[in-house]
Amino acid sequence: MEIILKVNQKEHHVIVDPDEMLLDTLRRLGYKSVKRGCDTSNCGICSVSIDHKLVPSCSYLSVRAQGKEILTVEGLEEEARLIGESLTAEGVEQCGYCSPSLVVAIHTMLEELKNPDKDEIKHYLAGNMCRCSGFEGHHRAIKHHMEVNLNGGQ
């Protein structure tokens, strides 16, 4: 069946199977930042933003995404660069496999929670697994990003 997906403000006419998951469609369309992890909605590696909500694309039907705003890390551009620099500065960026979904998760978190504290950050990102780090670096990086990039160095 043919559907229209709006990804990072760009419309794609694409033919999908009825039971095709968004992860597979996005990768087929060239959004290779969207990675397959556990494929059971548990690890968060495949997360994208749909209508400003973080969802696991491995379990989200492509046909359901029609008419919605899909955001991947490719659509974040400058914000992704700034978050990426904070992550790198804190040594979080190691294998890099979880980084695209983590950046999208940080983006949706900061849309939803205006000034989250450490506990709120930990809770929001609990479903985003990173097998390289111990997550402390993530918290430092997000704090740095919020203080330097969002609050003008405050």
Partner 1 sequence: MNFEEIVMPATVAEAYEALTTAENPVILGGGGFLKLQNRRVHTAIDLSRCGLEEVHLTPDCIEVGAMVTLRTLETHPEMPRALRTAMKNIVGVALRNLVTVGGSVSGRYGFSDVITPLLALDAHLDFHKKGRMSLEAFLESQDRTPDILVKIRIPRAAHSAFYNVQLTYTDFSMVNLAIARNHHLRIAVGARPGVARLIKDPDLRLTPGEILEKIKFAKDDKASGDYRRTLAETLLADALKEVSQWK
List beta partners, residue 53. 50
**Among all chains, which residue has been given the structure tokens 């969207």?**
34
Q: Which of 95, 59, 70 is nearest to 10 (CA)?
A: 70
Q: How far is the CB of 99 from partner 1 (least distance, A)?
A: 16
Give the x/- contact pattern for partner 1 in 35-64, rule: CB under 8 A: -----xxx-x--x-----xxxx--xxx-xx
Using CA atoms, how far residue 56 sits from 14, 70, 78, 85, 145, in Å, is 20, 12, 23, 25, 24
Give the x/- contact pattern for partner 1 in 68-87, rule: CB under 8 A: --------------------
Using CA atoms, how far residue 77 sits from 36, 55, 57, 71, in Å, is 22, 20, 20, 11
Question: How far apart are alpha carbons 89 and 76 in whole angstroms?
Answer: 19
- Complex with partner 1: residue 31 or 60, whichever CB lies closer: 60
Q: Is 33 in the site for partner 1 (CB under 8 A)?
A: no
Q: How far is the CB of 10 from partner 1 (least distance, A)?
A: 23
Structural tokens at position 34: 């969207």
- Complex with partner 1: residue 51 or 77, whichever CB lies closer: 51
Among 2, 13, 18, 152, binds partner 1 (CB under 8 A): 18
* Angle at 52 (CA atoms; ends 28, 121), nearest 5 degrees: 105
Give the x/- contact pattern for partner 1 in 124-143, rule: CB under 8 A: xxxxx---------------
- Complex with partner 1: residue 18 or 152, whichever CB lies closer: 18
Binding site for partner 1 (CB under 8 A): 18-19, 21, 40-42, 44, 47, 53-56, 59-61, 63-64, 105, 109, 123-128
